[in-house]
């Protein structure tokens, strides 16, 4: 590849943001079209990348490497593999759709779309960087636009939600910074992730800090940083607030992409760099996954606000990802090297990241649609909408069924893979966490019943049906949800080799593990 496609993916939105800033502030529509064009090109490039990606290749492709700050050995280093490609596709797709979701933003559109594109660039950068310093910069750069997007265009409690989100994430990030520097100084003075993957485990494993193995300390610091993003219980309290207060498009990005960064970080950084830590922590991870699944579902069940319910369902669904990731120990020496289970779990986790991205995006867009019309989100405040808005009801039904994991829709496959992977090692945990499926079904169906079935609420006899722009944002997602529910191979094929390699790393390390 000669034309630096990865750099284009990252910097296209920045160019778009720069153009938007130059547009006079009364020309809101021009700004929207610039944003649409920038994200459309990004999506085209992402698909191009996918088409040219060699999924049988172990390691990173389309690499771009440049020295940035020579004195500190910092590089501008981008690359893509089977783990990051699905995330890149997801980010590009959701960013593009979200421009249209935001079409009705009238308050300060220049600021909104410029910040939105910067956020897009930050997300792309996180998924593509292979230099730890660069990764950190992108990771942090995302926070600023997010703060303003929630804080300026959000709901009534937006100020509190925005700062809470910012404080939580920054608290995690600074721990990550300390961990990054610790890795730098103990493992050969480099930020190059590919080098760190080879050296970090042995470099840290032999050191002791405050009486603890240094590897465990660094693992925990990284885990907290990523867990806050996921969010893993008990770091999840920022999430419902931020999701509820954020404008629809930002909720979509938050749930669809930002949460995935937590699990992506673990799979990209913690797992391959510190495989000993991954094995050591797997049990705890499975337990946290269980808490996430059950706790998130129970909270969702208790909500009367539709958006909050969807937000908590994300906590629950991200639990499946964690469970799938914990399954990697199945390949370990202690568990008899059950590589098949590990593969099911790990591939399931990444597939679930992708599927949850599409499903939750649909759910949030749908919440936004009804909120724009009724100006509230109280589940009990509707009733019988099914008769009034048949198309809307149909799409909601699809999204809800996908969310509760109905066979034939995409969520089912990835959730099942996570369970299958984790079962051989964590039997009790898996058995208990299947309760989560039941609870998921309960709150989705109950909400559906209260909103769409029964007698039509008199207040809403004139509620207009979902319009074409809204349908345009939902249809691609719905198609993906159905398609991947029947035939998940296109996404699975991309990641298979990469995940297989990651499992191998962990398996090898389990043979030599120090603890």
Partner 1 sequence: MFIPELILVGSMLLGIFADLFYDRKHSFRVGHWIIGGLVVAALALYLTPASESITLFMGTIVADPFARMFKYIFLLTTTIVILMSLRTDELKTVRTGEYYLLIAAITLGMFLMASSVDLIMIYLSIEVVSIVSFILAGYLKTQVRSTEASLKYVIYGAFSSGIMLYGFSLLFGLTGTTKLFEIRESLAALDGGTLTLTVATIMIMAGFGYKISAVPFHFWTPDVYEGAPTPITAFLSVGPKAAGFALLIRVFNTLFTGTDALTASVWQSLEGLPWQEVMAALAAITMTLGNVLAIQQSNVKRLLAYSSIAHAGYILMGIPVLSQSGIYAVMFYVVVYLFMQLGAFFVVITIKNKFGTEEIEEYGGIGFKSPYLGVIMAIFLFSLTGLPPTAGFIGKFYLFSAVIDAKMYWLAIVGALNSVIALYYYMRIVKMMYLQGEREDELYMPSKFQSILLAVLAVPTIIFGVYWTPIADWIRNSLVFFLP
What are the tokens at 271? 């797992």
CB of 24 to partner 1, least distance (A): 13
CB of 443 to partner 1, least distance (A): 32
Q: How far lies 479's CA from each of 398, 403, 467, in Å?
A: 10, 15, 18
From the list 383, 390, 362, 398, the residue with the least C-alpha distance to 248 is 362
The residue within the footprint of partner 1, chosen from 44, 66, 104, 209 (CB under 8 A), is 209
The residue within the footprint of partner 1, chosen from 5, 37, 143, 287 (CB under 8 A), is 143
User: Residue 403 and residue 423: Cα distance in Å, rounded?
Assistant: 22
Q: How far lies 487's CA from each of 55, 199, 266, 354, 484, in Å?
A: 17, 39, 27, 14, 5
The residue within the footprint of partner 1, chosen from 60, 103, 116, 147 (CB under 8 A), is 147
**Of the listed pieces 47-55, 136-144, 237-245, 249-257, which binds partner 1 according to CB under 8 A?**
136-144
125 touches partner 1 (CB under 8 A): no
Give the residue with the Cβ less far from partner 1, 107 or 427.
107
User: Residue 153 and residue 112: Cα distance in Å, rounded?
Assistant: 8
Residue pair 143/150 in contact by the 8 Å Cβ criterion: no
For partner 1 (CB under 8 A), the number of binding residues is 35
212 touches partner 1 (CB under 8 A): no
Map the footprint of partner 1 across residues 52-81, applying CB under 8 A. Answer: 68-72
**Of the listed pieces 29-37, 170-178, 194-202, 462-470, which binds partner 1 according to CB under 8 A?**
170-178
Give the residue with the Cβ less far from partner 1, 140 or 305.
140
The residue within the footprint of partner 1, chosen from 47, 58, 159, 459 (CB under 8 A), is 159
Residue pair 118/14 in contact by the 8 Å Cβ criterion: yes
174 touches partner 1 (CB under 8 A): yes
Q: How far lies 359's CA from each of 90, 364, 398, 478, in Å?
A: 11, 9, 9, 8
**What's the per-residue H, E or C state across 336-364?**
CCCHHHHHHHHHHHHHHHHHHHHHHHHHH
**Of the listed pieces 132-140, 262-270, 301-309, 313-321, which binds partner 1 according to CB under 8 A?**
132-140
167 touches partner 1 (CB under 8 A): yes
CB of 166 to partner 1, least distance (A): 6
Q: 69: which strand partners?
A: 74
Residues that bind partner 1 (CB under 8 A): 68-72, 107-108, 136-137, 140-141, 143-144, 147-148, 151-152, 158-159, 162-163, 166-167, 170-171, 174-175, 177-178, 181-182, 184-185, 209-210
């Amino acid at each position: 590849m000669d034309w630096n496609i990865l750099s284009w993916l990252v910097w296209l939105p920045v160019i778009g943001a720069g153009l938007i800033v130059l547009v006079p502030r009364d020309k809101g529509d021009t700004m929207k079209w610039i944003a649409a064009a920038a994200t459309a090109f990004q999506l085209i490039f992402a698909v191009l990348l996918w088409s040219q990606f060699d999924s049988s290749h172990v390691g990173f492709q389309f690499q771009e490497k440049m020295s940035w700050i020579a004195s500190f050995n910092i590089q501008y280093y981008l690359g893509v593999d089977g783990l990051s490609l699905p995330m890149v596709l997801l980010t590009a797709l959701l960013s593009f759709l979200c421009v249209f979701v935001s079409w009705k933003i009238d308050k300060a559109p220049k600021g909104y779309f410029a910040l939105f594109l910067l956020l897009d660039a930050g997300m792309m950068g996180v998924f593509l960087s292979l230099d730890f310093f660069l990764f950190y910069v992108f990771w942090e750069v995302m926070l600023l636009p997010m703060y303003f997007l929630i804080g300026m265009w959000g709901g009534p409690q937006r100020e509190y939600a925005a700062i809470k989100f910012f404080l939580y994430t920054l608290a995690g990030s600074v721990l990550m910074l300390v961990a990054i520097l610790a890795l730098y100084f103990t493992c050969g003075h480099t930020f190059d992730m590919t080098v760190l993957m080879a050296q970090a485990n042995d470099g840290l494993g032999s050191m002791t800090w405050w009486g603890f193995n240094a590897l465990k300390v660094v693992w925990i610091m990284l885990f907290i940083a990523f867990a806050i993003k996921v969010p893993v219980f008990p770091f999840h309290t920022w999430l419902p607030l931020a999701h509820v207060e954020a404008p629809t498009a930002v909720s979509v990005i938050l749930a669809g992409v930002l949460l995935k960064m937590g699990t992506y970080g673990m799979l990209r950084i913690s797992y391959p760099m510190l495989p000993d830590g991954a094995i050591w922590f797997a049990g705890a991870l499975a337990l946290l996954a269980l808490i996430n699944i059950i706790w998130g579902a129970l909270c969702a069940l208790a909500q009367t606000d539709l958006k909050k319910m969807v937000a908590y369902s994300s906590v629950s669904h991200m639990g499946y990802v964690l469970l799938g990731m914990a399954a990697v120990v199945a390949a370990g020496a202690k568990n008899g090297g059950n590589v098949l289970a590990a593969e099911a779990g790990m591939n399931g986790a990444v597939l679930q990241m992708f599927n949850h991205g599409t499903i939750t995006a649909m759910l949030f867009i749908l919440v936004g649609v009804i909120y724009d019309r009724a100006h509230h989100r109280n589940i009990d405040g509707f009733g019988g909408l099914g008769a009034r808005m048949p198309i809307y009801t149909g799409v909601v039904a699809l999204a809800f069924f996908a969310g509760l994991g109905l066979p034939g829709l995409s969520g089912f496959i990835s959730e099942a893979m996570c369970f299958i992977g984790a079962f051989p090692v964590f039997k009790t945990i898996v058995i208990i966490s299947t309760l989560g499926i039941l609870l998921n079904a309960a709150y989705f169906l109950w909400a559906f019943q209260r909103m769409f079935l029964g007698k039509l609420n008199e207040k809403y006899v004139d509620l207009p049906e979902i319009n074409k722009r809204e349908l345009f944002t939902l249809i691609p997602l719905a198609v993906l949800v159905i398609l991947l529910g029947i035939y998940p191979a296109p996404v699975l094929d991309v990641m298979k080799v990469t995940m297989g390699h990651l499992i191998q790393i962990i398996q090898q390390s389990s043979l030599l593990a120090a603890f």
